[in-house]
Chain A
Amino acid sequence: MSTNTTLQDENPAVRAPLVLGGKDFHGVTTAVSEIVERPTPKPWILGFLISLAVLGILGATLADLVGVGIGEWGLNHPVGWAWDITGFVFWIGIGHAGTLISAILFLFRQKWRTSINRAAEAMTIFAVFAALLFPGFHVGRIWLAYWMFPLPNQMNMWPNFRSPLLWDVFAVSTYGTVSILFWYVGLVPDLATLRDRASTKLRQMVYGIFALGWRGSHRHWVNYERAYLMLAGLSTPLVLSVHTIVSFDFAVSVLPGWHTTIFPPYFVAGAIFSGFAMVVTLMVVARAAYGLHDLLTIRHLENMNKIILATGTMVGYAYGMEFFIAWYSGNDYEVYAFTNRAFGPYAWAYWTMISCNVIGPQLFWFKKMRTSIPVMFVISITVNIGMWFERFVIISTSLHRDFLPSSWGYFQPTIIDISMFLGSFGLFFTMFLLFVRYLPMIAIGEVKAVMPAANPHGEHGEDERHTAEAAHAHG
């Protein structure tokens, strides 16, 4: 296993291989499929039970919110949104990495994406589900939340198309739908592999149904490649649009601290930042748990850490720029909003955010740091803590002290605020654990395509033009 940690870039002209351990195609298939086929490991059961318990907390919380009212949260009159929308933006942000990896990196021919894209996409979908909990349940009359959809009715009453919340409905639902499609299309060949390897009738049937009759024929592969490319093209603008539109919830308002034009790029950078951090956290664990060191190499993790460093720095720039513009605008309310952010009652939240998001990731300038598993694990977690705080700081510190000092207030979370947020992790991890147990968490077909063995021309250095066709030929 020593090769796993050896960084094979002594020759900068030659890229490090993406699959280590001398695995051939069959080795890859086995390594990934066996995770699903082996008997259920004990740690998984333990993890699953914990997740299920946390999911139960979510269920109880939602019952309370629907039964009693959202007054169970700590919201009040200046602060109409707090942990609810913070949770929403937090999860939507996490949900950004998947599509970015699948779509944008695919279009840019970043081959290292193949080992992580499946899990990242799954994570995206589950994060979107977790995110949807919050806007769904934060409305006062959840039983009427469907009025946000443009449903024809006898009163000819349509939603208000000027409202950013309505744009959210469209943006997030489109994003969720395309992400699921994209993920599923990518899964089809692997589902067929699992079907073919199935040892029981049930498995064969279930995987068979979802494999949609995939036989790995050339025609299948051609159609598949086209569909995949088109979906990648569709998803790419979505990666940018979803968080841009989410940021409009704030940017379109009149509130100092919300009303700012930097939000769209700033939110997108932040979303990618948090999404990659979540992928790193999950992959570090999955890699260790399932011994996927050969497929999820240090190079993969290091690449992701580089992205974290880049986006983290962008976010830091945005933080600074907000202050500069507040000062430069000469608007007293704006100046106060930012002074209050850094030095007011929520200063602790602000400085937590700065430490986690701006200072922490700077360690990744050092190669030692960005290739150290413990360091990246800790930083990836603190980045997500910081990104949660970023949303909380934006939402709550802007709301709690806006224009009229007479209405200033302070938000304190209740136990129900906390259990709702905690519970969303229960939902996320339950789904994610089910995913790693029953579906191939690495895209077998795609990984094979980036292996040297897929190259019919043999060792051609970094020229990997023909790999895709080769992979198909070898099935």
Chain B
Amino acid sequence: MKRAPYTYGQDLSGKQYWRSLDELAETPEFKEALEREFPDGASELLDPVTRRAFMNLMGATVGLAGLTACRRPEEKILPYSKRPEDVVEGMPLYYATAMPFAGTAIGLLVESHTGRPTKIEGNPRHADSLGAANVYAQSSVLDLYDPDRLTSSYEGKVSVENKRTAEQVKAALSARGTALKGKGGTGLAILTEAHRSPTLARQLDEVKKQLPGAKVYRWDAFSRDNVREGSRIAFGRPLDVSLALENAKVIVSVGSDFMHTEGSPVKNARAFASGRKLAEANAEMNRLYVVESHYTVTGSNADHRLRIPARDVPAFAMALARELATAHGVNLGDVTGAVDAYKPELVEKTGKWARAVAKDLAANRGTSALIAGDSLPPAVHAVVAAVNHALGNAGKTVNYVKAVDESSDGVASISALVQSLKAGEVDTLLILGGNPVFTAPADLDFAAAMDKAAVSIFHGLQENETAQKAKWVVHASHYLESWGDVRALDGTASVVQPLVAPLYASFTELDVLEGLLGGTRSSHELVRATWQAEKGGVDFEKNWRRALHDGLFAGTAYAPEAVEAKPADVAAAARALVVQKADGLEVTFHPDSHAWDGKYANNGWLQEMPDPMTKLTWDNAAFISKATADANGLRSGDVVTLSLKGGGSLTIPVLIAPGQADDSVALTVGQGRKVVGGVGKGVGFDAYGLRKTTGMSVVQGASLSKTGGRHDLAQTQTHHVMEGRPLVRETTLEKYRQTPNFAQTMVQHPPLLSLFDDFKYEGHKWGMVIDLTSCIGCNACMVACQAENNIPLVGKKGVLMSREMHWIRVDRYYEGDIGDPHAVFQPLPCQQCENAPCEQVCPVAATTHSSEGLNDMVYNRCIGTRYCANNCPYKVRRFNFFNYSTDNITNPKELGKGPEVNWSTTREMQFNPNVTVRARGVMEKCTYCVQRIQEAKIAAKREQQERVKDGAVVTACAQTCPTEAIIFGDLNDKGSRVAKHAASPRDYGILAELNTRPRTTYQAKIRNPNKELEQA
């Protein structure tokens, strides 16, 4: 690309300077005079035209005419006339911020290149991140640049003629506020998401103060009401539950996916894994029991997983409490009597389980944790809280902390709003974020109720179902361009700091409320004011700056509450609990692993990210067990009608999901959006239609009928067993203690010899170790890699043709019975083989070994024979079948999506400038983030260090891994973490018997089963 500055003298600010009246008027005389003064091509043709000169000129013209075709495309750039402080092109800056996620917030450090946020990293100081991030945080940067974002506010439908400027929006809001003030705020209803922002709470309080008649409601499709209600029953206060699993030896999850979707997933995963790091052979390990119906990430990491229908899960929790009280003398007070009806055997095949788990829990008082799923009834939470309290776990492994907001964010709240709307009590409905028309319980018919409000204002990032029904659509700022604040589950407060000025002059929630109140304070001022009040004093400026730098206000975490159990209340709740009875099939609702509750439906990275268990992309399906499928004569991909007795039906394909409970259908909500951008359009099936106030998480009485139709389900992995191959090598803790090097002796092969002397690595020798005991299969590494390395998407059709481009993938294998298998995960980046099969077969030497041991891929040299990919035993090489990253406009049908999936003028801004965007016909693969290695080497050289220090280079996958399962570093540095891990007896290379000498090695997986449950 040729870069040409604008011509001197042409003022880009638009100002026109003139020297004479003639010039201003641009009279022909003036132009002629100018021409005469400075004629174009003045030096040419001074001599009269001779034949010879003519021939010369013509010859040169013809000769040069061909050259014009060789000109590079010209592009105007502007140099900084005044360089902003700290901005150096090519040197990224990192800013701390935080992303609100589900019931918590994830502290982040965001990489910014010349003002463009490009990559999300965890904030090591933040308790809910600890330097890691999950798939949703990693992919949130793509939402910022989503070409389908609302770029303007609208009065009425989203269309050009309804566009309203920021001033018009402010005027309208202020006018509305004034009108409302006239009647004391009566008729104003504000619906927020389950936000955790102190400043937003303060603003809402301000609204209530100025407009006393105003009502505030909250709604989240995955409410934590039951958790708080359970604590209220158990302890008299609606407390939140924050886990400290690093202190737990025995962890029992009753229907909770605490490592992936509930609570503080990143923190929980780290804590869980920290109890399983096996430094020495005799190290201790925690033990995880999971009881659930749908195979979750947490369930797949269990040492023992009990697969029962969701309706039986509460009964199991009760039976467990009974067993603890009766057999192990755990003092539950009145609760003992209340749960007496729940004999362990009452629930099918669970007697042995309940007894064994109870025994393990009782043996680990104060170092165990019983965790109930968010969606379980409050009574179960209450009993679980009572048990944790009685076992002495409260305050040690399970912390009961103050809830950021004690009000309902679930059915109670949204039902009240709908009732009030239907009663005509609301004339102004202000919806701050979310998408209630899509996500609210089906029986409430939120869309119809919304019409009752005379004025409905929707504030959101994208046009969605709710925006379409609203009278006003106010475009929202992404959190990466907003000032705000947020508290994590444990109370830690962070400032949400903008990385970039709003791309489209959009509004934050704070702006909207401020506008309504007629104020003029900016979000920044509002947030500062909140914290000035909280952390005021002379040091405020210092504290504020520290908070911005660190990403959190130190010491804002809530202290675990000292709780006092109220067994009588718990007993009453337990007695009142009505356990659902089997009635046909049951249906359970879960957040979609791609779209969450629907808000990420337009995020291509998430849509193409395989579901951790089923490896399904670009879709959702009804997950059923093999037995249920056989009973109904179904195969994966068969389209069925799923009907509920209480009314409602859904047409959806089924997917046989090993590990799913029999007679139980798991549905994910969030897909099947009707009003959505180009990426999410036509993806999946909307299961919200079946979700009603009476059955928000589990509902009985469903039936399946085959429609005869078929639907292609794009899975990234279609073969689920290891075929007896020693890929993931695992054993039990006990056997591992006997033979720590079992993994290294598993494969017998002849000595692996070479005719040549090995290359001597004098400098660095990069290597990676992946601990399979720690990996929980969450896929965070995959998105991190995608963001870091500009990896394109291939769309559903691409995945169906097995053309996905992920450089690191997480292989998931099942083992055992197809109905109830156990699962293992294996992240697989390029193995950077010492003796790489790919290198020797490339005819043009486009892939070669570096002097630091990397298997380099030279895109410029690659001609795309794909021989390397064929010869790669690990199948980690990815081929650009089309121009995925730039002009897939030529072939949108291949992507099954519009061109915006990979490229748009905004999408382009996310690209990492340090990584080439690959063209069509080129092979690509994991490089161990070679750009990061180079950066660290340059930094080390500048600081005159002899070599890059351990930890100075972290690959994107290793950096974001919540469980620190991926360790990267210099194998030549004997003190490095990677070298120590590589020397472990658990370390092995997959397919090392081929003499590929992989540089990425694995630490064998160790499980810690309970002997009593072993002989099932």
Contacts and interface: CB of A to CB of B under 8 A. Distances in A.
Interface of A: 67-71, 74-81, 138-142, 144-145, 147-148, 157-160, 162-166, 169, 249, 252-255, 332-333, 336, 399, 401-410
A332 B725 contact: yes
Contacts of B874: 403-404, 407
A405 B863 contact: no
B873 A139 contact: no
21 contacts: A67-B890, A69-B921, A70-B881, A77-B804, A77-B878, A78-B802, A80-B870, A138-B865, A139-B864, A139-B921, A140-B880, A141-B863, A147-B844, A159-B845, A160-B844, A163-B842, A253-B870, A403-B725, A407-B811, A408-B718, A409-B718
Contacts of A148: 843-844, 863
Nearest to B873: A403
Contact of A165 (B809, B865, B879): B865
A277 B718 CA distance: 40
A405 B843 contact: no
Contacts of B873: 254-255, 402-404
B841 A255 contact: no
Contacts of A252: 841
B812 interface: yes
Contacts of A77: 802-804, 869, 875, 878-879
Listed residue (A141, A253, A333, A404) with the most chain B CB atoms within 10 angstroms of its CB: A404
Contacts of B880: 140
Sorting the interface of chain B by its residue count into under 10, 10 to 19, 20 to 34 or 35 or more gives 35 or more
B946 interface: no
Interface string B221-260: 0000000000000000000000000000000000000000
B891 interface: yes
Nearest to B801: A76
B870 A69 contact: no
B725 A162 contact: no
A429 B873 CA distance: 40
B186 interface: no
B9 interface: no
B212 interface: no
Contact of B867 (A80, A406, A409): A80
Contact of B813 (A79, A80, A406): A406
Contacts of A141: 862-864, 919-922
Interface of A is mostly: loop
B36 to A, nearest CB: 48
Contacts of B722: 405
A319 B625 CA distance: 41
B867 A163 contact: yes
B843 A255 contact: no
B882 interface: yes
Given A163-B841, A253-B871, A406-B719, A71 B724 contact: no
A79 B867 CA distance: 10
A166 B840 CA distance: 11
B973 interface: no
Contact of B727 (A158, A249, A255, A404): A404
A81 B869 CA distance: 10
Contacts of B871: 253-255
B506 to A, nearest CB: 37
B861 A157 contact: yes
B813 A405 contact: yes
A360 B486 CA distance: 76
A406 B828 contact: yes
Contacts of B845: 157-160, 163
A160 B843 contact: yes
A332 B837 contact: no
A78 B891 contact: no
A159 B870 contact: no
Contacts of B882: 68-69, 71
Contacts of B920: 69, 140-141
Given A68-B890, A253-B841, A404-B873, A140 B813 contact: no
A406 B864 CA distance: 24
A401 to B, nearest CB: 8
B717 A406 contact: yes
B172 interface: no
Contact of B843 (A78, A138, A166): A166
B837 A159 contact: no
Contacts of A166: 843
Nearest to B995: A254
Given A252-B841, A403-B873, 8 more contacts: A68-B890, A69-B883, A140-B923, A158-B845, A163-B843, A254-B873, A404-B874, A406-B812
Interface string B708-722: 000000000111111
Given A69-B883, A77-B804, A253-B870, A405 B840 contact: no
Given A336-B723, A406-B811, A69 B881 contact: yes
A171 to B, nearest CB: 13
Contacts of B878: 77
Contacts of A403: 725, 873-875, 991
A267 B717 CA distance: 34
Given A68-B891, A77-B803, A254-B837, A140 B922 contact: yes
Nearest to A256: B873
Listed residue (A74, A332, A401) with the most chain B CB atoms within 10 angstroms of its CB: A332
Given A80-B870, A140-B920, A404-B873, A165 B725 contact: no
B155 interface: no
A165 B921 CA distance: 17
Given A80-B879, A403-B725, A409-B802, A165 B867 contact: yes
Nearest to A165: B843
Given A77-B875, A405-B719, A139 B841 contact: no
A140 B843 contact: no
B405 interface: no
A278 B722 CA distance: 43
Contacts of A76: 801-803
B755 to A, nearest CB: 13
Nearest to A67: B890
B852 interface: no
A138 B1011 CA distance: 57
Interface string B890-926: 1100100000000000000000000000011111000
Nearest to A80: B866
B994 interface: yes
B1006 to A, nearest CB: 21
A336 B874 CA distance: 17
A402 B875 contact: yes
Nearest to B835: A254
Contacts of B828: 404, 406
Given A139-B864, A141-B864, A405-B813, A160 B840 contact: yes
Given A80-B870, A140-B880, A408 B719 contact: yes
B860 to A, nearest CB: 9
Contacts of A409: 718, 802
A69 B891 contact: yes
A413 to B, nearest CB: 12
B784 to A, nearest CB: 20
A399 B802 CA distance: 13
Which are the 3 A-B pairs with shortest beta-carbon distances?
A: A140-B864, A140-B921, A71-B881
A81 B803 contact: no
Interface in B727-775: 727
Interface string B992-1016: 0010100000000000000000000
A409 B718 CA distance: 7
B863 A147 contact: yes
A403 B920 CA distance: 27
Contacts of B725: 332-333, 403-405
A84 B891 CA distance: 21
A332 B869 contact: no
A144 B922 CA distance: 11
B803 A140 contact: no
A336 B727 CA distance: 15
Nearest to B869: A80
